[in-house]
Amino acid sequence: MRKKILAGNWKMHKTIAESVALAQDIVTALKAKPSASEVIVCPTYVALDRVATVLAGSPVLLGAQDMHWESQGAYTGKISADMLKAIGVTYVILGHSEQRAYFHETDETVNKKTIKALAEGLKPIVCVGETLAEREAEITEKVVETQIRGAYAGISASDAVKTVIAYEPVWAIGTGRNASPQQAQDVHRFIRTLMASLYGDSVANAVQIQYGGSMKPENAAELLSQADVDGGLIGGAALKADAFLGIIASS
Ligand code: PEP
């Protein structure tokens, strides 16, 4: 039985003070009414340290939105795995479609980051998903397979099982148009079968696969009830405590 895992990706939203307030609201609510699901918040880098203080002693875990694959050096603007760990980060989102679309992320860089995160004891949330044109061209599975094979190149089964995969159809991210529960389930099933062919059944059955793309309280229960949907990576709806908590309550 896989535990559900819900992560809020706050993207480039919220000042430090706003981040602290949102984290406090989530922690207060979950302390009063604990969830059986794993809950993660991923603020901006600048808010990580202060949010870590708010989360301390609570069931909510801290995630980062990206990291560099090198340990240190002349990489202006970048953050290392070590730096994240020192703050208390547990999870790191890698290969988000916005990173791929705007910041030159490739399957190769996702692979380097995934290897580094695992080596440093961070849990990667590896994002994959097709664009609308790719779905319409009926190459969703091919695209997702290429992304997964690329991200996991050289990664052992004992490491692969420590990762989380986020299936995020690009056409559903921030658009208000979510994948239907059946569309999500079909791709999640495909990903699990692919993981079985790469790593065997026990890894495939254990690995958590999140759905991301316009998940909200109104559609979460049905998406999360699909057999291979193990949680959500949530953008817009994670920016308001009520909406994020509503999704958590549906899990
Ligand atoms: C995301 O950015 O990972 C995401 C799923 O965003 P949204 O929920 O806003 O579609």
pLDDT tens column, 111-133: 999 999 999 999 999 999 999 99
Q: Is the CB of 236 under 6 A from ligand 1?
A: yes
CA angle 51, 169, 19 (to 5 degrees): 15
Q: How does residue 2 score in pLDDT terms, banded at 50, 70 and 90? A: very high
Q: Which two tokens stand for residue 109?
A: 């860089």
Atom of ligand 1 nearest to the CA of 232: 5
Q: Which fold has domain 5-242?
A: TIM Barrel (3.20.20)
Q: Which atom of ligand 1 is nearest to the CA of 214?
A: 10
Give the start-to-end residue ranges of the domains of the chain.
Answer: 5-242
Mean pLDDT confidence for 60-72: 98
61-98 CB burial, b ≥16 within 10 A, e <16: bbbbbbbbbeeeeeeeeebbbebbbebebbbbbbbbbb
Q: Hey, which residues are catalytic here?
A: 96, 168
pLDDT at 243 exceeding the cut of 90: yes
d(CA 236, CA 243): 9
**Mean pLDDT score, 6-10:** 98
Three-class secondary structure assignment of 139-181: CHHHHHHHHHHHHCCCCCHHHHCCCEEEECCHHHCCCCCCCCH
Radius of gyration of the chain (CA): 17
Residue 174 Cβ contacting ligand 1 at under 6 Å: yes
Mean of the per-residue pLDDT values for the chain?
A: 98
Which class for 13: exposed (0-12), middle (13-18), buried (19 or more C-beta within 10 A)? middle
Ligand 1 probe mutation, 13, 216, 234, most atoms within 8 A of CB: 234
Q: Scan for tokens 């996991």, then name that residue.
A: 152
Q: How far is the CA of 145 from the centre of ligand 1 (A)?
A: 21
| Ligand 1, atom nearest to 234 Cα | 8
Q: Are 123 and 162 in contact (CB under 8 A)?
A: yes
For ligand 1, what atom is nearest to the CA of residue 168? 5
Per cent of the chain over pLDDT 90 is: 100
Element (H, E) at 218: helix 217-224
Is 214 a pocket residue for ligand 1 (Cβ < 6 Å)? yes
Q: Which residue among 40, 173, 211, 223 has the greatest number of ligand 1 atoms within 8 angstroms of its CB, and so is best to mutate?
A: 173
- Residue 1 is predicted with a pLDDT of 81
Answer whether 0.95 is exceeded by the pTM.
yes
Residue appearing with tokens 């004992």: 158
CA separation for the pair 50, 205 (Å, rounded): 36
Alpha carbons 96 and 105: distance in angstroms, whole number: 8
Choice from 125, 214, 247 to test ligand 1 binding pocket (greatest atom count within 8 A of CB)? 214
For residue 188 the two structure tokens come to 């999640």
